[in-house]
């Protein structure tokens, strides 16, 4: 998966420094998934036993999210500047959190800012600034301040609980080999997209035609 950024400099920044690390991470996950049925390998508990460069991987996906959701530059200008200037240790801004899950399905979806509320069968909400569902991973940049609201039900990201990876951007480019099990000690769930299955008609979706872009396909 390649996301073209907002300008040549940003595209070159991601391509030169971060996207290869993301590709290596995905390749390691795919190799592990293919080998699991054939070899006696460690179980994916609390996460698949692969190594990655967490800072580079997180920067790669975040730059991609700024490409699909340009409004993030207005909401989080400090984060945009930190990514552009390649600062070694970046802190996730207040009000945002980066979540990660395993997603082994062919259906692909990239979307910018929108939210949805499930109104049939059970009450749940799904609130994102940007999302990337492209196997073998799902990523979401979502609000960190909403919490539980009884009228909206629990968040999709809390059941099952997606891994919170905000601290990955505090790792510098020099950190290239960290075990995923050490980074995600609470585990990484396997998820479906709530709006791509048979239950999608149970949801009300809210988005702006001036802000929201949605891309769907298969890979």
How far from chain centre, in Å, is Cα 26? 13
pTM of the model: 0.92
pLDDT at 36: 83
Peptide bond between residue 160 and the one before it cis (omega within 30 degrees of 0): yes
pLDDT at 117: 93
Nearest 5°: phi and psi at 187? 95, 165
Element (H, E) at 129: strand 124-134
Tens of pLDDT, residues 4-20: 556 777 778 888 899 99
Element (H, E) at 14: helix 8-17
Above pLDDT 90, what percent of the chain?
70
pLDDT at 122: 86
| Residue from 187, 190, 189 nearest 45 by CA | 187
pLDDT at 150: 63
Q: What is the mean pLDDT of the chain?
A: 90
CA distance 169 to 27: 21
* 52 pLDDT more than 70: yes
Q: For 14-23, 32-41, 97-106, 120-129, which range has the lowest pLDDT when averaged over its residues?
A: 32-41
* 42 pLDDT more than 80: no
Nearest 5°: phi and psi at 111? -150, 150
* 63 pLDDT more than 90: yes
Neighbours of 85 (CB within 10 A): 9
* 148 pLDDT more than 60: no
* Domain definitions of the chain by residue range: 8-218
CA distance 28 to 49: 9
* 139 pLDDT more than 90: yes
Residue 40 tokens read as 């006696």
CA distance 22 to 14: 10
Q: For 32-41, 100-109, 131-140, which range has the lowest pLDDT when averaged over its residues?
A: 32-41
Average pLDDT of span 137-151: 80
pLDDT at 11: 75
CA distance 136 to 44: 14
pLDDT at 2: 57
Average pLDDT of span 154-167: 94
Average pLDDT of span 161-181: 97
| Cβ contact 139:98 at 8 Å | yes
pLDDT at 40: 77
pLDDT band at 134 (very low <50, low <70, confident <90, very high): very high
Number of H helices, E strands in the chain: 6, 11
pLDDT band at 182 (very low <50, low <70, confident <90, very high): very high
């Amino acid at each position: 998966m390649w996301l073209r950024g907002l300008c040549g400099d940003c595209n070159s920044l991601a391509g030169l420094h971060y996207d290869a690390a993301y590709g290596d991470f995905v390749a390691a996950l795919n190799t592990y998934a293919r080998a699991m049925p054939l070899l006696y390998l460690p179980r994916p508990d609390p996460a698949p036993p692969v190594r990655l460069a967490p800072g580079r991987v997180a920067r790669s996906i975040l730059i991609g999210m700024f490409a699909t959701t340009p409004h993030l530059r207005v909401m989080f200008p400090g984060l945009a500047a930190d990514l552009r200037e390649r600062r070694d240790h970046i802190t996730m801004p207040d009000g945002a959190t980066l979540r990660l899950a395993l997603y082994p399905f062919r259906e692909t979806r990239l979307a910018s800012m929108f939210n949805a509320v499930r109104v049939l069968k059970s009450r749940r909400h799904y609130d994102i600034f940007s999302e990337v569902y492209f196997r073998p991973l799902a990523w979401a940049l979502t609000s960190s301040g909403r919490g539980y609201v009884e009228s909206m039900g629990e968040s999709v990201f809390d059941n099952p609980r997606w891994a919170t990876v905000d601290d990955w951007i505090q790792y510098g480019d020099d950190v290239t080999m960290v075990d995923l099990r050490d980074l995600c000690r609470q585990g990484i769930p396997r998820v479906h997209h709530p709006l791509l299955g048979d239950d999608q008609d149970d949801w009300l979706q809210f988005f702006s035609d001036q802000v929201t872009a949605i891309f769907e396909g298969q890979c």
